Amino acid sequence: MSGGPPGSGKGTQSPIIKDEYCLCHLATGDMLRAAVAAKTPLGVKAKEAMDKGELVSDDLVIGIIDEAIKKPSCQKGFILDGFPRTVAQAEKLDEMLEKRGAKLDKVLNFKIDDAILEERITGRWIHPSSGRSYHSKFAPPKVPGVDDVTGEPLIQRKDDTAAVLKSRLEAFHQQTEPVFCVSIWLCMLGKIQNLFRITSNLHGIKALTFSFQQIKLND
């Protein structure tokens, strides 16, 4: 599971980790949209909530994750991108995984000072269909506004503004940060400190993952 404040790099690193370790990349927003588009039973319920302007319930999100990890593409493992966001969600996720005889191997906490985030957020560009992230300063595409792989146009999210960031950070510190202090997850926690270069971050992630694998082997 990868987590951190908006703009911390989890969305950029998760697809890279997926390719490096042949994992399934599970971003809840993407999964919800896919379930709604496919009109699955859970997707229909999620659409009903969204059409009413309501938040999709934790149980629905957990159900969609449960469906996703049953797919053949997820049998070698998966990375949860930005979920859970609350302690309650973390507890429900653990319950679901326990029923399946599975568990999280690693919890990656992407650490970054709030003061640095505005520049990173406002310069961010996204390739919608793949989730690939770019930054106009730190990780620009080869051609401005165009995805390196497909040549398709990139977009900027409507909430990638300084004003929206402030409220999102307040929510993160109040609701999501405590997730990393849940006692059952502390032994799996690895911190990725604020590093600007994507390759440097990946080296840090690989080092944490390798050390964790060594610990498991030596237990």
Catalytic residues: 10, 85, 124, 157, 168
Closest CA to 116 of 137, 144, 86, 145: 137
Strand order of the β-sheet with 78-81 is 24-27, 78-81, 2-3, 107-110, 189-192
Q: Which two tokens stand for residue 212?
A: 């964790």
Task: Estimate to the nearest angstrom the gap between the alpha carbon of 197 and the chain centroid.
Answer: 19
- Judge residue 140's burial from the number of C-beta atoms within 10 Å of its C-beta, 0-12 exposed, 13-18 middle, 19 or more buried: middle
Q: Give the E-state strand segments of the chain in sequence order.
A: 2-3, 24-27, 78-81, 107-110, 124-126, 133-135, 189-192
